[in-house]
Structures are given as structure tokens and as C-alpha cells.
């Protein structure tokens, strides 16, 4: 198993900083913007983006969390059940610009699930996708609006995003592991 660090704490901070600026530029401010993070890593990322937006624009941006387990398309094929966590979207998304946040964009299936889940909460004006890492290998016609870093990978590699809130450090790793099953 070979583990290569492709982004360190400083790089991750700069990426988040730039992503926040891009969100502001694209939406001409944050007046109508809400952030929704996909559990688990997208959750912490969403809060960091929101904090950065607040610092830059001096306005509070609502943050919600989405658990997509119930919307997965591989729910019936897994031998080990994913643990169901709570969704917390305590604001109205009707008429808002929702910035959907996840750590890694891979096959696009997580995002498909998240879009379906979001639609059950209302009709946002627009949904934009923000990811820290785009590693390619899409299986659905989905692309991100904001990308922290493009990392070309092979299919059997694993991209691991560590966030200090739960992993004790900020970093992004690419892991070569022939034995390990593909993780999306």
C-alpha cells in the first residue's frame, strides 16, 4: 500500500479560500446562497466554506447537512449496511441557490442521490456543486461548478480526505491499493 500526500493543510486552506471566492463571484454575493454538505466529510467542508463566506461578505450563510443513505442506488447490494445518519436542513430551500458540498467527486452517484434527496425538500432556484477533489471516472453526466483540485487517478486508487475535525489533520492522500475494493 502506497500513500501519497497530494494536498497538505496549507494547500487545503488555500483551496477552500479560493472556492469561497468563486462562490461569491459566481453568485454576485451570498444573499440568496445556502450551503448543504453531504455527510460525513462534506459536512465539515460545508462549515468551513460557510465560515469563509461569512468572513468575506459579513453575512451569515445557512448550513444544512444531508445524509444520502436512503437514496443510494446500491443499498440492496451491500453486505454491510451503511449507518443511517440524520439530515438537518432547518431552512427553506425554495427559491434559494443551494451550493451542494462534498469532499470527493468520483462516479457521480452520490451527487445523483443528493440531488434526489434535495428535491424532496423543495424547489431551489439553482443547485451548484462544490467539491474539494475531482478524481474523474464519472458514471453519470454530472460535473462540478467549483473544484478545489483536479487529481487524475486510476480506478483502483483511493482518494482520502482527512479533516482535522474528525481525522486530526487536514490533508488529501491518494492510496494505491490493489487489494482494496473500490470505494465511492
Partner 1 sequence: MKLKSRHLLGLEGMTKEEIELILDTAKSFKEVLERPIKKVPPLQGKTIVNLFFESSTRTRISFELAERRLSADVVNFTVVGSSVAKGETLKDTARNIEAMKVDMVVIRHSSPGAPHFLSRVVKANVINAGDGAHEHPTQALLDMMTLREKFGRLENLHVCIVGDITHSRVARSNIYGLKTMGARVSVCGPKTLIPKDIEKFGVGVYYNLEEVIPQVDVLNVLRIQLERQKSGLFPSLREYHRYFGVTREKMQFATKPIVIMHPGPINRDVELSADLADGPHSVVLEQVTNGVAVRMAVLYLLGTTTIVENEVH
Q: Which is nearer to partner 1, 114 or 133 (CB)?
A: 114
159 in Cβ contact with 152 (< 8 Å)? no
Which range touches partner 1 (CB under 8 A), out of 27-35, 54-62, 74-82, 100-108? 74-82
Residue among 2, 10, 25, 77 that touches partner 1 (CB under 8 A): 77
CB 130 within 8 A of CB 53: no
The residue among 95 and 122 lying less far from partner 1, judged by its C-beta, is 122
Choice from 8, 14, 29, 70 touching partner 1 (CB under 8 A): 70
Q: DSSP E strands: which ranges in the chain?
A: 2-7, 33-38, 63-66, 97-105, 126-134, 146-150, 158-162, 171-176
**Residue 74, SS3?**
coil
Distance CA 131, CA 147 (A): 5
| Binding-residue pattern over the window 114 to 153 for partner 1, x denoting contact by CB under 8 A | --x---xxx-------------------------------
Interface ranges with partner 1 (CB under 8 A) = 67, 69-71, 75-81, 83-88, 116, 120-122
Amino acid at each position: 500500500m502506497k500513500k501519497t500526500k497530494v494536498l497538505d493543510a496549507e494547500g487545503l486552506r488555500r483551496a477552500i479560500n479560493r472556492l469561497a471566492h468563486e462562490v461569491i463571484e459566481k453568485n454576485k454575493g451570498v444573499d440568496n446562497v445556502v450551503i448543504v454538505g453531504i455527510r460525513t466529510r462534506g459536512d465539515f467542508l460545508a462549515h468551513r466554506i460557510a465560515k469563509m463566506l461569512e468572513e468575506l461578505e459579513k453575512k451569515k450563510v445557512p448550513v444544512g447537512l444531508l445524509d444520502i443513505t436512503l437514496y443510494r442506488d446500491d443499498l440492496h447490494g451491500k453486505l454491510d449496511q451503511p449507518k443511517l445518519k440524520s439530515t438537518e436542513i432547518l431552512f427553506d430551500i425554495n427559491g434559494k441557490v443551494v451550493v451542494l458540498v462534498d469532499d470527493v467527486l468520483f462516479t457521480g452517484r452520490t451527487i445523483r442521490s443528493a440531488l434526489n434527496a434535495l428535491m424532496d425538500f423543495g424547489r431551489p432556484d439553482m443547485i451548484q456543486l462544490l467539491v474539494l477533489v475531482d478524481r474523474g471516472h464519472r458514471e453519470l453526466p454530472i460535473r462540478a461548478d467549483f473544484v478545489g483540485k483536479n487529481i487524475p487517478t486510476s480506478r483502483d486508487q483511493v482518494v482520502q480526505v482527512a479533516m482535522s475535525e474528525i481525522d486530526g489533520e487536514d490533508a488529501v492522500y491518494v492510496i494505491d491499493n490493489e487489494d482494496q475494493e473500490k470505494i465511492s
